Structure 1
Amino acid sequence: MAKPRKKQPLRTVNIHCAQCRSPLYKYRKGGKGALVKCFVERIAEDFTQQPCTCPGCGQVFAREMLIRGTPAYKIIGRKVGVK
């Protein structure tokens, strides 16, 4: 399969924990669809101390994996909100 585009999208979205509302990432998202995965190279700002764990409540909101040969976080359903 093809790798993600090298040119990053301009639009950034704020990703926050659905349970405690603490900020997790500022992410460069492309497209209109739901947030299913976060490519690590597209994260503009990271507010977490441990990968895939909320700094406020300690909830695990994603899993680390390789998608199309690129490191990414696969989001667990209804654990994060996007604004």
Structure 2
Amino acid sequence: MAKPNKKGPKRTVQISCLQCKAPIFKYRKGGKGALVKCFLERIVEDHTTKTCHCPGCGQEFARETMMRGAPVYKMIGGKVHMK
């Protein structure tokens, strides 16, 4: 399978916790669909201290896995908000 483009899209989105509104990531997202997965190489700013857990309330918002030969965070539905 093809690897994702390392440079990625130019548009950045702010990802925050839906429960406590704490910022989680600043991410370069392509397309206009829902946020299903985040490629680690496209994360511009990371505000988390513990992997896949919100820095504010500690809630798990994603699961770490591999896709297309690259590490990704698969988002759990209804846990994050994208702006």
TM over 0.5: yes
- 1:59 is the counterpart of 2:59: yes
Q: Deviations over 1:5-49 (max 9, x none)?
A: 233110000000000000000000001110000000000000000
Identical amino acids, percent of aligned pairs: 67
- Report the RMSD for the aligned CA atoms in angstroms: 0.7
Tell me how many residue pairs correspond in the alignment: 83
Q: What TM-score, normalized by structure 2, do the two folds share?
A: 0.96
Give structure 1 regions of 4+ aligned residues with deviation exceeding 3 angstroms.
none
Superposed displacement of residue 51, structure 1: 1.0
For structure 1, the 5+ residue unaligned runs are none
Q: What TM-score, normalized by structure 1, do the two folds share?
A: 0.96
Which residue of structure 2 aligns with residue 77 of structure 1?
77
